[in-house]
Amino acid sequence: MRSLKAAFARRTDRAGASRAVPLLRTAILTLGVVVAVHAVSSEIIPPLPADNPAAWCQRVSERLPGISKTDCRASALVPTGARSHNGFPILIRRFVAASEKKIASNAGVVAVNPGSGMGATPLRILLLGGIHGDELTASAIVFQWMQSMPGGAAEKFHWEVVPMLNPDGLLASQPSRVNAKGVDLNRNFPTLNWDIEAPRYWARQTGSDPRRYPGKSPLSEPETRWLNDELLRFRPQLIISVHAPFGVLDFDGPTAPPQRFGRLSLNPVGVYPGSLGNYYGALGKVPVITIELPNARVMPTDAETRKIWTDMLAWIDRNVAARTTGDQDAKPAPKSLSASAGTALLNR
């Protein structure tokens, strides 16, 4: 356990081997944090038209393992209206639950909004991939799971799916964990005492690793600002975030955690300042599952991909959906907690 947590705190590439050489750390100390971090991500990618799926899918299919241009087009992703630093549209697919479709059809309306009071409210789930752009399989497997959603067991739930939250990192000439401004998006959420804890953790625990730079302030990035706004609008009752390459399950928040999806077993890796699990799971009390695939470049077998998916759906049905009744809404993470509570969480 201790060794795995250390690996998470210090990992700098998909193999877990450090690339932070002494000369880079010296440069950071000499020239300043912002200069050194910005140098990591100076590449500018021309923006894509928001209404051009062919252009998105051409580039996505060239990068993601096992995802063809046809697969990408079939995913029916649409722009959210938000864009990354480099102008790539943040894309989403919304899957309305079968019960909502029936209600909408009978009522003569297009869709039923969460909290409308029209019948039982299905569980709202947010599925995220690619918050770190160099974890290619984390995006690719979400594309594959989307193919299973229509007409399957997933139709019991109301989904929002964002397979590429960090498109600039994913589509850089060399895929990058950080976004185009050199910020680790999964350290940029407004957790308790972020202004103190996030920079201190980055300096002391990671040795000012540029791949883990939390940014100048919480929600400083367009990607995290959009996600935070969407969390407040959609009010998910479960968040699933896919990563790689440690081959485990992690969990934050209430509800008994899952023990195994496919070959992935539960192995909690800690709580980090600025992470989504800390923000919405530990503080906001919304279940957050982190799926760590075993390889960032090579996809699991088709059988294992299906097994992770079916095990996850069964766990959701037993442990989250069964305990969620009526219009019970997820609440955003509180803006403040006591200092002692925050310290306990961060040291967990």
For 279-303, the pLDDT digits (tens) are 999 889 999 999 999 999 999 999 9
Contact 40, 210 (CB under 8 A): yes
Return the structure tokens found at 297. 């470049």
Q: What is the mean pLDDT of residues 252-277?
A: 93
Question: Could you read off the pLDDT of 306-339 as tens digits, one per residue?
Answer: 999 999 999 999 988 776 644 444 454 444 333 3
Share of the chain above pLDDT 70, in %: 72
Residues 6+ apart with CB under 8 A from 336: 192
**Residue 242 pLDDT greater than 80, yes or no:** yes
Least confident of 20-34, 38-52, 248-262: 20-34
- CATH number for the domain harbouring residue 149: 3.40.630.10
How far is it, in rounded angstroms, from Cα 272 to Cα 347?
A: 9
**Residue 72 pLDDT greater than 90, yes or no:** yes
Predicted confidence at residue 102, as pLDDT, reads: 60
Question: Could you read off the pLDDT of 201-228 as tens digits, one per residue?
Answer: 999 999 999 999 999 999 999 999 999 9
- Report the number of distinct structural domains present in the chain: 1
Ranked by mean pLDDT, the top range of 45-54, 180-189, 248-257, 313-322 is: 180-189
Quote the pTM value.
0.80
- With CA atoms as reference, report the closest residue to 312 among 270, 252, 249: 249
Task: Give 31 or 45, the one with higher predicted confidence.
Answer: 45
- Residue range of the domain that includes 15: 2-346
